Amino acid sequence: MPGAIPNPLRSELDRRLPRIAGPSVLVLFGVTGDLARKKLLPAIYDLANRGLLPPGFGLVGFARRDWEDQDFAAQAHEAVREHARTPFREDVWRQLSEGVRFVSGELNDDAAFDELARTVRALDADRGTGGNYAFYLSLPPKLFPTVVKQLKRSNLAESEDGAWRRVIIEKPFGHDLESARELNAVVDDVFPPQSVFRIDHYLGKETVQNIMALRFANTLFEPLWNRNYVDHVQITMAEDIGVGGRAGYYDGIGAARDVIQNHLLQLLALVAMEEPVTFSADSIRTEKQKVLEAVELPEDLATGTARGQYAAGWQGGMYVPGYLEEEGIPANSITETYAALKLGVNSRRWAGVPFYLRTGKRLGRRVTEVALVFQRAPHQVFSSVDVEDLGQNSLVLRIQPDEGVTLRFGSKVPGASMEVRDVTMDFAYGQSFTEASPEAYERLILDVLIGDPPLFPRQEEVELSWQILDPIEEYWAKEGRPEQYEAGTWGPQSGHELLARDGRQWRRP
């Protein structure tokens, strides 16, 4: 039997065998950063520990530090011990760390990149990494052009004999349509579109992938999943923290660009899309793209959007400063820390069903969820007094932190009278499935190394999202200062009015 395609040792029926990445080198830029330490290095170890990395795997760190290989290995070791999700096993770590290298230098330093090229080629020779390289740019996006140009100049971007090159970039993908296109042009110039992996870590979450399972694997929900039954949809991503150490990045960007453009619009796309023809990357992305194209802005941006800025207040038993008092934020900043939008989706399925999106910092608690709120029963046999406590039925997809699904419906209150009140039926991931479910970054890094793209948004989706957001940002820029809201509450008055105007209200998540 010959090797390679199709591999005779693999069979669709053999579901015990996991997908394992092929021999490759992951080159990590920005290894000293927060993301690398808290998420990426631990995720790489967890993958190795689960046996999903190949024996021929190399990890190269690049940073402006005067480090040797072992210094970087020590840093990585510490990050792994502190943040990895699977237990630490010396054998796994030792085997992984044999493939760890470090290259020191500035990003504009030709010599450092030549050294990087030598290092990865040496790994190919010493470790059998097969000439396949993935470049993870965990850097501020303004540095992307420099890195990409360097990769091209040092011939690292080119592959020979069927080896692959992949580049992984983190959000933000620009701050408006134009900058997103510019950024893309820089990367596109050197790497073909199918080699560019844009990370939206939300899409790596089990609960987000479960949206598709819930919708398309069941018969129970899909018949209700349309304008005939759904009154409106609420998508919330709330944080309880303030801007903290991200002041420099956050100011001038704001809540909408930081969260709505990527995470919330991706969630909207997954909730609103039609069933893909197959579960392949292209079919899923095509359906998502159709939804984003069909998104419609409110006619009047003044009444169809809301924004706010947190003011000082008591939150979770602590007094916290307002946004304008945070370190590194100019006292006259007009950046919003809360944003809410009302969007429509122009399709037969959703015409007339508003999608309310909101996100903010220093809100009541940390929670991300999607709620489908159903219409009231068209006719009630029970008297209005009996159903006074009955709200609208709803289906809540809890994305984080308490992952699961909740169904709210009315039930009789025990007793002699026919009183109906809301109860919930609950499915909690943590209880019904693994507490050791993989972290989003594990899944995404593995997908990159395998070359499996469904969970990564393509450039078209990024551009469509900016097309949705840009007019709103322009409108807000003219409006001056956002409304203040007290830290620890559920946002500004205008946010509540956005729904109140339509006779609705936000769920308290």
Partner 1 sequence: MTLYLPRTTTSQISEALTAERHSVGGGALNMVLTLIVVTDEADHYDAVRAATEAGREHPSRILALIRRDPDAEPAIDAEIRRPGTAGPGEALLLRLYGPLGDHPGSVVTPLLVPDAPVVAWWPGIGPANPSADPVGRLAHRRITDALRAADPVADLLNRIRNYQPGDTDLTWTRLTPWRSLLASTMDQPCGWVNGAEVTAEPRYPSADLLVAWLADQLEVRVERTTSNGPGITGARLVTEQGDINLQRYDGRVATLTRPNQPDQTVALARRRPAEALAEELRRLDADEIYERTAKFMAAMLDRTEEPV
Residue 328, interface with ligand NAP (CB under 6 A)? Answer: no
Longest dimension (CA), the chain: 84
- Clarify whether 379 is annotated catalytic: no
- Nearest distance from C-beta of residue 92 to partner 1, angstroms: 4
Select the residue interacting with partner 1 from 245, 428, 497, 505 (CB under 8 A): 428
Positive or negative: CA dihedral 438, 442, 447, 450: negative
- Which among 206, 192, 186 is positioned nearest to 158, based on CA atoms? 192
Residue 143, interface with ligand NAP (CB under 6 A)? Answer: yes
Taking CA atoms, 492 is separated from 243, 440, 495, 505, in Å, by: 17, 32, 5, 13
- Nearest distance from C-beta of residue 72 to ligand NAP, angstroms: 12
- Nearest distance from C-beta of residue 37 to ligand NAP, angstroms: 8
Residue 122, interface with partner 1 (CB under 8 A)? Answer: no
Which among 77, 175, 263, 496 is annotated as catalytic?
A: 263
Indicate the residue among 107 and 340 with the shorter CB distance to ligand NAP.
Answer: 107
Residue 64, interface with ligand NAP (CB under 6 A)? Answer: yes
Residue 179, interface with ligand NAP (CB under 6 A)? Answer: no
Select the residue interacting with partner 1 from 433, 483, 493, 502 (CB under 8 A): 433
Task: Tokens for 221, please give them.
Answer: 């929900």
> What is the Cα–Cα distance from 256 to 263, expressed in whole angstroms?
10
- Nearest distance from C-beta of residue 155 to partner 1, angstroms: 23
Indicate the residue among 20 and 74 with the shorter CB distance to partner 1.
Answer: 20
Q: Which of residues 128-167 bind partner 1 (CB under 8 A)?
A: 128, 130
Q: Which residues are annotated as a binding site for substrate?
A: 201, 205, 239, 258, 361
Provide the 3-class DSSP secondary structure of residue 428: strand
Indicate the residue among 417 and 434 with the shorter CB distance to partner 1.
Answer: 434
> What is the Cα–Cα distance from 280 to 274, expressed in whole angstroms?
14
Q: Which residues contact 261 (CB under 8 A, 6 or more apart)?
A: 172, 465, 466, 468, 469
Residue 31: how many other CB atoms lie within 10 Å: 25
Residue 10, interface with partner 1 (CB under 8 A)? Answer: yes
Indicate the residue among 253 and 407 with the shorter CB distance to ligand NAP.
Answer: 253
Find the helix or strand (DSSP H, E) in which 341 lies.
strand 338-345
Q: Which residues are annotated as a binding site?
A: 64, 106-107, 171, 201, 205, 239, 258, 361
Select the residue interacting with ligand NAP from 86, 129, 138, 210 (CB under 6 A): 138
Indicate the residue among 428 and 500 with the shorter CB distance to partner 1.
Answer: 428
Size of the site for ligand NAP (CB under 6 A): 18
Report the partner that residue 17 touches, choosing among ligand NAP, partner 1, none (CB closer than 5 to 8 A by kind): partner 1
Provide the 3-class DSSP secondary structure of residue 63: strand
Indicate the residue among 80 and 139 with the shorter CB distance to partner 1.
Answer: 80
- DSSP code of 6? S
Find the helix or strand (DSSP H, E) in which 345 lies.
strand 338-345
Select the residue interacting with partner 1 from 37, 39, 101, 127 (CB under 8 A): 127
Select the residue interacting with ligand NAP from 141, 360, 492, 509 (CB under 6 A): 141
Residue 1, interface with partner 1 (CB under 8 A)? Answer: yes
Residue given tokens 């190269």 in the structure block = 60
Task: Tokens for 418, please give them.
Answer: 């026919």
Residue 107, interface with ligand NAP (CB under 6 A)? Answer: yes
Inter-axis angle of helices 459-479 and 281-294, nearest 10: 30
Between strands 165-170 and 100-104, the pairing is: unpaired
- Which among 358, 297, 365 is positioned nearest to 492, based on CA atoms? 358
Report the partner that residue 376 touches, choosing among partner 1, ligand NAP, none (CB closer than 5 to 8 A by kind): none
Phi, psi of 458, rounded to the nearest 5 degrees: -95, 170
- Nearest distance from C-beta of residue 169 to ligand NAP, angstroms: 7
Residue 457, interface with ligand NAP (CB under 6 A)? Answer: no
- Which among 139, 197, 138, 180 is positioned nearest to 465, based on CA atoms? 180
Indicate the residue among 81 and 89 with the shorter CB distance to partner 1.
Answer: 89
- Which among 194, 188, 203, 201 is positioned nearest to 144, based on CA atoms? 188
Ranges of beta strands (E only) in 30-148 are: 57-63, 100-104, 133-137
Residue 436, interface with partner 1 (CB under 8 A)? Answer: yes
- Nearest distance from C-beta of residue 90 to partner 1, angstroms: 9
Indicate the residue among 12 and 299 with the shorter CB distance to partner 1.
Answer: 12
Give, in degrees to the nearest 5, the angle at Cα 246 between 141 and 199.
Answer: 45
Query: What's the per-residue H, E or C state across 40-61?
Result: HHHHHHHHHHCCCCCCCEEEEE
Residue 92, interface with partner 1 (CB under 8 A)? Answer: yes
Residue 430, interface with partner 1 (CB under 8 A)? Answer: yes
> What is the Cα–Cα distance from 441 to 43, expressed in whole angstroms?
6
- Judged by the rule CB under 8 A, the positions of this chain that interact with partner 1 are 1-4, 7-11, 13-18, 20, 22-23, 48, 51, 54-56, 89, 91-92, 94-95, 98, 125-128, 130, 428, 430-436
Residues that are catalytic: 263
- Judged by the rule CB under 6 A, the positions of this chain that interact with ligand NAP are 30-36, 63-64, 107, 138-141, 143, 170-172
